[in-house]
Structure 1
Amino acid sequence: MNNVKISESVYYVGAVDWNLRDFHGYTTPRGVTYNSYLIVDEKVCLIDTVKAPFAPELLDRISQIIDPAKIDYIITNHIEPDHSSALPAVMARAPQAKVLLTEHGRTGIIKHYQQNYDFEVVKEGDVLELGRNKLQFVPVPMLHWPDSMISYLTGEQVLFSNDAFGQHISTTKRFDDENDLPQVLFEAEKYYANILLPFGKMVVKAVDKLKELPIQIVAPSHGVVWRKHIPEIVAKYQDWGRGKTTGKVIIAYDSMWGSTERMARQILEGVAAAGATGKLYKMSSADRSEVIRDMLEAGGILIGSSTLNNGMLPNMGALMTYIKGLRPTGKIGAAFGAYGWGGGAQNAIEEMLKGAGIAVTQPGVALKWVPDEEELHKCFEFGREFAHKVLAKI
């Protein structure tokens, strides 16, 4: 197997899942990786495992470097099954290994796997002596689970960053500078938007902690390892964590008989006339997780739907539920749509925008049946007025 050295003492022993296309509702057209790292020092330490079906591959990779029975420590930075579900298979080969994790991690591993391993609970500031190197532990609760932590290898200055700085991308090349950087950054942005967006305050705190550490390599739990473009991805996380936005307006809609679509296109013309960047998505055909990626840095979100049964169309209801859970910050929004004998979609959208923490700064626009020329002009002006408000926030 092709084992890659990350640094003098650290090997990549994870697995690439080329075929996965859905990560609990987050589309992964480029597949995913389950990253695991082996530290071979005076003591041998495994950082995380992989998803259970890939346990044989993980053990094969380890076996090419060292007998798994010689593993002294297993660090569980995060208990989610894509990181931990191969743990029982590893422990069967390394029964003497001590498992280091947070208190939340300990209770979670016991509940997941019904096993009471030789656990050692660690907290911030704790250090594990490995020989030439030491491991320092930085708990980062709710980034993005209560058990989450980051581990830092002194000496070789490797940060095992857990889900932070990750991406869902399959590649035979392990490092950022061996891959297409715009593609990697695109997937890093999509990953942040769909996984870490609700935890912006914790992201900022974590990045501030990491500034105190000299870091040569960032080894996340998913995607490529950062060794050249660390300043770029850290700067991105600072901006995303603080909710920094641009003059971009996302228009997401669905339409029953075409009237709401005509409205959306005129609103987009108004956005463009104001000098803002507009993006248009029809949710019956758009990829929701990529729409959310585009929304990450957008200053404004416009949501449109025809009225069905006094509410939104199903695709729009799913989108709004998703946005409400992600709780984006620093954005303004508004609603629009057409209806037949009775409305309802606009009010429902506005309530969900507010529930998501998005400021509704102007009345929406709704019309009956098919828009006439005057109503289309009203849509144009609605888009232009909204875009001016977005640009004024920059």
Structure 2
Amino acid sequence: MYKPIEVTEDIFYVGVNDRTKHLFESLWPLPQGVSYNSYIVRDEKTTLIDTVDICYSDLFMRKIRSVLGDNPIDYLVVNHMEPDHSGSIEFLVSRYPNIQIVGNKRTLEMLKGFYGIVDNVVEVKDLDEMSLGKRTLQFYMTPMVHWPETMMTYVRETRTLFSADAFGTFGTLDGGVLDRQLCPERYRDEMIRYYSNIVGKFGSPVQTALKKLANVGIDAICSTHGPVWTIPENITGVIALYDRLSRYDAEEGLVIAYGSMYGHTEELAEIIAGEAAENGVKSIVMHNVSKSYESDILRDAFKYKGLIIGSPTYNNKLYPAVDSLVSALQNRGLKNRFFGYFGGFTWADATARQFEAFAGAMEFETVAEPVIMKQAMLADVVEKARNLGRTMAQKLTSGTEVVQQV
């Protein structure tokens, strides 16, 4: 029924697409769906790399049989135990009772914890090798990218890297699976959103993994989500993107995220954005936190160098959705940003001290005097808002120190 999809000689894609789920991890919107990728290495010893969400186990099995027919699977390599990739293990074992499950010590602990499986397991360590016949698997431990058991598997003879969740993206594979069959640029922002939402907290482990793989020749990257990367410039590009994101480096541009109950704080956001644009910032993204998904705001905060957040005082705290955003940014350890903040209050201000504490806890450079509005927009507030936009623009476009204009 299914035509086998060959990644490279005797390596096949047997993943599935999920166009039904609304929220990944019950948190992150999936407007373009998501794929769960699995692969077969066909050799003297046939090996399956990762499984798929249990909801798709029947379809998964049909795809496996389109490659193998009634032949057995000798090994299942588990690069990552998160249930969207390990969910079909029990089902698979019921169909292939002699299959041996390959993973590291932490993998096997989780295999027992999640599924009660302790038999027919093979433990591997960093840089261990396993011969399949003509091909050899080598295992690279990459803990905390983004779970503690995560590893990558490399086929030396075909220079193919099975990278677990690293280099993955949101978005289904709509017909094409290999990057040469589709428009890769469609996935760039979804890769940034995936990284910022899921992996973003773990910049240091990602850097460690990239250094470990720096001298490994790669002709194909087979992630557990999104396209298979085979074109050399695309492979270079996705590795460079992960390198930049995990160093918390960013493009020139500005994110303005704000909460506003009656429109006054939003007016400040508009003034700040207008002044930044007048002074040369072309990439400006504005997010009303009551409408934008936090997922998209995090993506843009990882993407752009400038960040300005605004909030009214609400029950002597930040506006709830702003408070949630601030917490999410702290949780991910975002750093190396030019930062500004603004807010409003009617009788007691809480925004200034809470934003100041946030900026102090992060590795941000606060670029201008904060803009705090009491009740309504007066001339001095307008000028401070313009100064914030102007000063941020000068920082973003020149990188030099500027004198604040108050």
Short-chain TM bin: over 0.9
Letter in structure 2 aligned against 1:15: V
2:182 to 179, 182, 191: 179
**Could you tell me how far 1:115 is from its partner in structure 2?**
2.3
1:217 counterpart = 2:220: yes
Measure, in 2, the Cα distance between the counterparts of 1:353 and 1:16: 40
Give the match for residue 239 of structure 2: 234
Letter in structure 1 aligned against 2:93: M
**Could you tell me how far 1:70 is from its partner in structure 2?**
1.2
Give the match for residue 340 of structure 2: 334
Measure, in 1, the Cα distance between the counterparts of 2:236 and 2:246: 15
Give the match for residue 375 of structure 1: 381
Matches within 5 A, 1:90-239: 90-170=92-172, 171-228=174-231, 229-239=234-244
Measure, in 2, the Cα distance between the counterparts of 1:248 and 1:113: 46
1:318 counterpart = 2:319: no
Give the match for residue 267 of structure 2: 262
Native 8 Å contact 2:36 2:52 kept in 1: yes
Measure, in 2, the Cα distance between the counterparts of 1:106 and 1:350: 45
Measure, in 1, the Cα distance between the counterparts of 2:71 and 2:184: 38
Measure, in 2, the Cα distance between the counterparts of 1:269 and 1:209: 45
Q: Which deviates the most, 263-272 or 134-143?
A: 263-272
**Could you tell me how far 1:200 is from its partner in structure 2?**
1.8
Distance 1:390 1:80, change over 3 A: same
Native 8 Å contact 1:274 1:387 kept in 2: yes
Native 8 Å contact 2:220 2:230 kept in 1: yes
Give the match for residue 355 of structure 1: 361
TM-score relative to the length of structure 1: 0.95
1:79 counterpart = 2:81: yes
Q: Which deviates the most, 358-367 or 3-12?
A: 358-367
Aligned-residue Cα RMSD (Å) equals 1.7
Q: Deviations over 1:57-90 (max 9, x none)?
A: 1111112222566111100000000010100000
Unaligned runs of at least 5 residues, structure 1:
none
**Could you tell me how far 1:392 is from its partner in structure 2?**
4.6
Native 8 Å contact 1:168 1:188 kept in 2: yes
Distance 1:393 1:197, change over 3 A: farther
Q: Deviations over 1:83-135 (max 9, x none)?
A: 10100000111111111111111111111112223222211110010011000
Give the match for residue 304 of structure 2: 298
**Could you tell me how far 1:9 is from its partner in structure 2?**
1.0
Give the match for residue 19 of structure 1: 20
Q: Deviations over 1:24-63 (max 9, x none)?
A: 2121111001101011100010100001111111111112
**Could you tell me how far 1:332 is from its partner in structure 2?**
2.8
Letter in structure 2 aligned against 1:335: Y
Paired residue secondary structure (1:240):
helix
Paired residue secondary structure (1:56):
helix
Letter in structure 2 aligned against 1:366: I
Native 8 Å contact 1:62 1:68 kept in 2: no
Q: Which deviates the most, 197-206 or 310-319?
A: 197-206
Native 8 Å contact 1:250 1:295 kept in 2: yes
Q: Which deviates the most, 53-62 or 206-215?
A: 206-215
Native 8 Å contact 2:367 2:388 kept in 1: no
Q: Deviations over 1:181-220 (max 9, x none)?
A: 2212221122112122222222222222223222111110
Measure, in 2, the Cα distance between the counterparts of 1:4 and 1:372: 64
Number of residue equivalences: 394
1:41 counterpart = 2:47: no
Q: Which deviates the most, 30-39 or 264-273?
A: 264-273
Native 8 Å contact 1:219 1:226 kept in 2: yes
Paired residue secondary structure (1:162):
coil
2:90 to 85, 88, 91: 88
Measure, in 2, the Cα distance between the counterparts of 1:223 and 1:117: 32
Paired residue secondary structure (1:279):
strand
**Could you tell me how far 1:334 is from its partner in structure 2?**
2.5
Letter in structure 2 aligned against 1:116: V
TM-score relative to the length of structure 2: 0.93
Paired residue secondary structure (1:331):
strand
Instruction: Calculate percent identity across the aligned residue pairs.
Output: 29
Q: Which deviates the most, 355-364 or 173-182?
A: 355-364
Native 8 Å contact 1:305 1:346 kept in 2: no
Letter in structure 2 aligned against 1:349: F
**Could you tell me how far 1:382 is from its partner in structure 2?**
1.8
Measure, in 2, the Cα distance between the counterparts of 1:130 and 1:296: 41
